[in-house]
Amino acid sequence: MNEDKTPIIIGSDHAAYQMKEKIKAYIIKIGVDIEDVGAYSEDSVDYPDFGIKVASSVSKGKFKRGILLCGTGIGMSMVANKFPHVRAALCNDLFSAGMSRRHNNSNILVIGGRVIGETLAMEILKTWLETPFDGGRHQLRIEKFDNL
C-alpha cells in the first residue's frame, strides 16, 4: 500500500468529463489535494489544450503526478509524452496500471473514458495510486529516456 498524499493535477476533454468528475470525487474523499484544469462540461473541446496544461505542470515539477482522460486515452497520451520527464501511461486494464507504476514509475495516468466503464476505471485508479515504483534496474532504464 502506497500512502502517497502528494497533490494531483487532472484534466479531460468532453468525452471523459463524467469519468473525470467521478475520479476527482474519489481523490478528494481520500484526502489528496487535486487541481482540475477542465474540461468543466460535456461541451466539445480540444483534448490537447487540457493535456498540455497537465503534462507541462508535471514536466516542470509543479505537480508530481497527474491524470488525463479523453475518449480513447490515445490523444492525451500522445500529447503528454512529448514533455520531458513525463511518463504518461495509457491504462485501460489493471495489470498495466500496476506495472506502469512498478516498472515505469508512471507519473501521469491516462484512461480512455469511451473504452472502459466507470467501475473498472475506479479500480485502475486505485491500483495506480497505491502501487509504488520498484526502482533498481527500472530506474536505470528510465534514465535512458527521461530527459530526451
Q: Compute φ and ψ for 67, nearest 5 degrees.
A: -135, 135
Verify whether residue 103 is a known catalytic residue: yes
Contact pattern for ligand RB5 over residues 75 through 104, marking x by CB under 6 A:
x-----------------------------
Q: Compute φ and ψ for 105, nearest 5 degrees.
A: 45, 50
Beta bridge partners of 11: 68
CB of residue 12 to ligand RB5, shortest distance in Å = 8
How far is it, in rounded angstroms, from Cα 104 to Cα 90?
12
Verify whether residue 91 is a known catalytic residue: no
Which of these ranges, 30-38, 50-58, 69-77, 127-135, lies near ligand RB5 under the rule CB under 6 A? 69-77
Structure-derived torsion over alpha carbons of residues 118, 120, 122, 124, reported in degrees to the nearest 10 = -140
Task: Kindly state whether residue 54 participates in binding ligand RB5, applying the rule CB under 6 A.
Answer: no
Q: Catalytic residue, from 70, 85, 91, 138: name it.
A: 70
CB of residue 123 to ligand RB5, shortest distance in Å = 21
Task: Kindly state whether residue 50 participates in binding ligand RB5, applying the rule CB under 6 A.
Answer: no
Nearest CB to ligand RB5, comparing residues 51 and 87: 51
The distance from CA 96 to its chain's CA centroid, rounded to whole angstroms, is 13
Identify whether the C-beta of residue 58 lies closer than 8 Å to the C-beta of residue 109: no
Nearest CB to ligand RB5, comparing residues 111 and 129: 111
Amino acid at 27: I
